[in-house]
């Protein structure tokens, strides 16, 4: 699976595989985290499903309990028309990424359109119907309940004005600002830590990291990172360069965190330092 379409976040080994001396094998289940109504995410999911389809036995979809037969699209003579229609429907959020992949996978189906893995709904019918009913009952009440909650919040605020002293009012205002996302986490921690000694170890560590981050010259960081990568590339094999490119693309796309990317660069740099220097000339 190409890195630009997604990243593996977690691998869990089943209990049967963990058993010591067990020769039993279990099927691999790949769970793709969905982002509904997002064209870019759905396109990436379509690419993932399309790439993995040749080695898959089934594609499970939420939102239905039925088997979805899309073989007629894959057997349709004009595949360009099918792809154009599928692309449009995906762009308009009328179909999901997996459905797009199943509609347009004629090339991957070597023998027949039915070679594509079965597309099966995996929702529980009873629970799904209960969720739909719960939404239908609650949706009309949202506006009224939001108004009621707002009224109660104003009432509580009035009680605070009567019961709290000035210092407690200021503290409560800061806490409410943080809970309302008007104040960043770092600023909130600074406020809570002000005048309090000794601080818990993790709080002190967080504040020190925050101070270091604030002092960073990001233009210089960018320049030094580019110089480091340039220097590393000169001593890497083609495969290592490919891996470095893949990690860099993932980092820039936001799929890899800052910590993971710099941890990877650090390991590559250490490995490069361990390589024996080439000897030029005889001793």
pLDDT tens, residue by residue, 235-272 = 888 888 888 888 888 777 776 777 888 888 888 888 87
What pLDDT is stored for residue 110 in this prediction?
58
Enumerate residues 6+ apart whose C-beta is below 8 A from 120.
Answer: 58, 59, 60, 61, 66, 67, 68
Q: Which two tokens stand for residue 185?
A: 């986490």
Query: In the β-sheet with 67-68, what is the strand arrangement from edge to edge?
Result: 58-61, 118-121, 67-68
Backbone angles phi, psi at 121, to 5 degrees: -75, 130
At 83-93, the pLDDT tens digits run 999 999 999 98
What pLDDT is stored for residue 158 in this prediction?
94
What pLDDT is stored for residue 159 in this prediction?
95
Residue in this structure with the two tokens 């407690």, named with its chain if needed: 168
Residue 37 backbone zone (phi > 0: left; psi -120 to 50: alpha; other: beta): left
Please tell me the number of Cα atoms within 13 Å of 166 on its side-chain side: 0
What pLDDT is stored for residue 145 in this prediction?
95
What is the rounded CA–CA span in Å between residue 140 and residue 134? Answer: 11
For 178, the enclosing helix (H) or strand (E) is: helix 166-179
Count the residues in the chain: 283
Residues of the chain scoring pLDDT < 70:
2, 15-25, 108-113, 255, 274-283
Enumerate residues 6+ apart whose C-beta is below 8 A from 24.
Answer: 16, 17
């Amino acid at each position: 699976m190409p890195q630009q379409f997604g990243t593996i976040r977690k691998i869990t080994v089943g209990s049967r595989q963990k058993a010591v001396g067990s020769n039993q094998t279990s099927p691999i289940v790949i769970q793709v985290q969905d982002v509904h109504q997002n064209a870019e995410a759905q396109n990436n999911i379509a690419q993932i499903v399309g790439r993995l389809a040749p080695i898959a036995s089934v594609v499970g979809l939420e939102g239905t309990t039925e088997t979805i037969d899309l073989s007629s699209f894959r057997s349709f003579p004009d595949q360009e028309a099918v792809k154009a229609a599928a692309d449009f429907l995906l762009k308009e959020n009328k179909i999901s990424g997996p459905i797009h992949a199943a509609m347009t996978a004629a090339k991957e189906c070597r023998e027949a359109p039915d070679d594509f893995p079965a597309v099966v709904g995996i929702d529980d019918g009873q629970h799904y119907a209960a969720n739909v009913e719960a939404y239908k009952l609650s949706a009309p009440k949202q506006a009224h309940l939001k108004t009621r909650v707002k009224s109660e919040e104003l009432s509580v605020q009035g009680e605070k004005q009567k019961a709290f002293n000035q210092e407690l009012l200021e503290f409560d205002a800061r806490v409410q600002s943080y809970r309302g996302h008007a104040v960043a986490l770092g600023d909130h921690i600074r406020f809570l830590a002000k005048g309090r000694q000794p601080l818990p170890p993790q709080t002190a560590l967080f504040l020190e990291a925050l101070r270091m981050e604030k002092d960073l010259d990001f233009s210089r960081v960018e320049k030094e990172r580019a110089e480091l990568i340039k220097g590393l590339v000169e001593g890497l094999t083609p495969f290592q360069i490919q891996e470095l490119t893949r990690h860099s693309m993932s980092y820039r796309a936001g799929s890899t965190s800052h910590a993971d990317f710099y941890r990877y660069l650090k390991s590559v740099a250490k490995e490069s330092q361990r390589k024996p220097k080439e000897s030029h000339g005889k001793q």
